[in-house]
């Protein structure tokens, strides 16, 4: 059951020759989600070997160009490819108005309906749920209303050990009871304990996406213990003042969040074009939180 994230773009606002702006694809079991959609995201999707038509929903953290200007091309291409399913777009206001105006000019003959779900950015909220997972917002502090996203698998139904089913010739209703976590009384009066008869098919995992934001204490509790935290690090500490002024994070800020939240692993990106290499970001973050990696474009990371 895959739970992994592919980085499509990792640069910040100013373009550089070889890096794309913010965009990721999250793969949760059989679902694909696009997280932020900077210019060129659809080209990067193709390069990553991912089908645009499998995108189930789009999550936009905030309405700055480097996080959203790839959305218009993505919508056009989905229509050229004859998408039929509605596409939910989760984003802060005024995304609904932006999309409405966009479709006024470019929506003729669209084969599907993109539908905006406006997300709150001032308090955490459950914005998506299906049978296997949830998505909650993580309020962030940036120059525009901004939300991070916490993708969390639900605890799956327990599986019943095959040898138990065979040994006790379990009827279907007993299996369902066991899958739901209950003990079962067998016809001969024996009690079958759930914990010996069943196992969790997988441990639920969680991925948190935080971009863009200045350091925020509130984020720490919301991402506590996640398996993988992506946190922007636009600057290194040499530009801490600029980070504060532009409401971005330094590598130290991101690593501090990761350490204090006890996450398993930290992925960093959204580097300012002022830095010719990403090595300094990695060094600075690992000084505080050793299990840090650079989020490299067209690379996939297990959650």
Residues with catalytic annotation?
66
Q: Which residues contact 90 (CB under 8 A, 6 or more apart)?
A: 57, 58, 59, 60, 116, 117, 119, 127, 128, 135, 149
What is the nearest approach in angstroms of its own copies to the Cβ of residue 72?
5
Chain centroid to CA 30 = 14
Nearer CB in complex with its own copies: 94/204: 94
- How far is CA 59 from its chain centroid? 8
Report how many residues bind its own copies under the rule CB under 8 A.
29
Cα separation, 292 vs 265, in Å, equals 6
Binding residue for its own copies (CB under 8 A) from 35, 55, 57, 70? 70
Q: Which stretch binds its own copies (CB under 8 A): 37-45, 84-92, 121-129, 204-212?
A: 37-45
Instruction: Determine whether 84 is exposed, middle or buried from the number of CB atoms within 10 Å of its CB (0-12, 13-18, 19+).
Output: exposed
* Residue among 6, 25, 26, 40 that touches its own copies (CB under 8 A): 40
Query: Which of 49, 23, 47, 26 minimizes the C-alpha distance to 36?
Result: 23
Rounded to a whole number of angstroms, the minimum distance from the CB of residue 297 to its own copies is 13
Q: Which of 153, 150, 269, 288 is nearest to 221 (CA)?
A: 150
Q: Which segment (92-100, 118-126, 213-221, 247-255) binds its own copies by CB under 8 A? A: 92-100
- Residue closer to its own copies by CB (options 97, 180) is 97
- Kindly provide the b/e burial profile for residues 3-32, where b requires at least 16 CB atoms within 10 angstroms of the residue's own CB: bebbbbbbbbbeeeeebbbbbbbbbbeebb
> Judged by CB, which is closer to its own copies: 212, or 227?
212
Binding letters toward its own copies, positions 94-133, x by CB under 8 A:
x--xx--x---xx---------------------------
Q: Contact with its own copies (CB under 8 A): which of 29, 77, 246, 299?
A: 77
In angstroms, what is the minimal distance from the CB of 231 to its own copies?
A: 23
Site string for its own copies, 2-21 (x = CB under 8 A): -----------xxxxx--x-
- Please pick, from the candidates 31, 56, 76, 259, the single residue that binds its own copies as defined by CB under 8 A: 76
CB of 104 to its own copies, least distance (A): 8
- The H or E element spanning position 233 is none
Nearer to its own copies, 18 or 123 (CB): 18
Distance CA 139, CA 290 (A): 26
Q: Which residues pair with 301 in a beta bridge?
A: 5
Listed in sequence order, the residues at least 6 apart from 241 whose beta carbon sits closer than 8 Å to its beta carbon are: none
In this structure, how many other beta carbons lie within 10 angstroms of the beta carbon of residue 79? 17
Token reading at 40: 């060129």
Is position 63 an interface residue for its own copies (rule: CB under 8 A)?
A: yes
Sites of contact with its own copies (CB under 8 A): 13-17, 20, 39-40, 42-43, 46-47, 63, 65-66, 69-70, 72-73, 76-77, 80-81, 94, 97-98, 101, 105-106
């Amino acid at each position: 059951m895959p739970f992994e994230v592919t980085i499509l773009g990792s640069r910040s606002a100013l373009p550089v020759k070889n890096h794309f702006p913010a965009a990721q694809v999250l793969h949760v079991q059989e679902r694909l989600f696009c997280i932020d959609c900077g210019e060129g995201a659809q080209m990067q999707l193709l390069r990553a070997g991912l089908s645009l038509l499998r995108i189930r929903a789009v999550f936009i953290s905030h309405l700055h160009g480097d996080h959203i200007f790839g959305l218009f091309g993505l919508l056009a291409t989905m229509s050229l490819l004859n998408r039929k399913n509605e596409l939910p777009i989760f984003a802060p206001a005024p995304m609904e108005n932006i999309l409405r105006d966009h479709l006024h000019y470019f929506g003729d003959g669209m084969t599907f309906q993109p539908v905006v779900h406006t997300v709150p950015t001032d308090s955490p909220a459950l914005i998506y749920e299906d049978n296997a997972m949830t998505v909650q917002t993580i309020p962030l502090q940036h120059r525009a209303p901004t939300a991070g996203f916490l993708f969390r698998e639900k605890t799956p139904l327990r599986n019943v050990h095959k040898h138990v089913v065979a040994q006790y010739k379990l009827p279907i209703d007993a299996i369902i009871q066991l899958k739901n976590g209950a003990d079962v009384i067998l016809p001969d009066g024996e009690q079958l304990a759930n914990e010996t008869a069943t196992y969790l098919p997988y441990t639920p995992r969680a991925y948190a996406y935080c971009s863009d934001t200045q350091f925020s204490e509130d984020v720490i509790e919301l991402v506590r213990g996640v398996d993988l935290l992506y946190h922007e690090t636009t600057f290194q500490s040499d530009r801490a003042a600029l980070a504060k002024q532009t409401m971005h994070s330094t590598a130290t800020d991101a690593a501090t969040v990761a350490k204090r939240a006890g996450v398993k692993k930290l992925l960093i990106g959204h580097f300012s074009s002022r830095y010719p290499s990403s090595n300094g970001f990695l060094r600075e973050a690992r000084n505080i939180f050793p299990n840090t990696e650079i989020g490299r474009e067209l690379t996939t990371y297990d959650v």
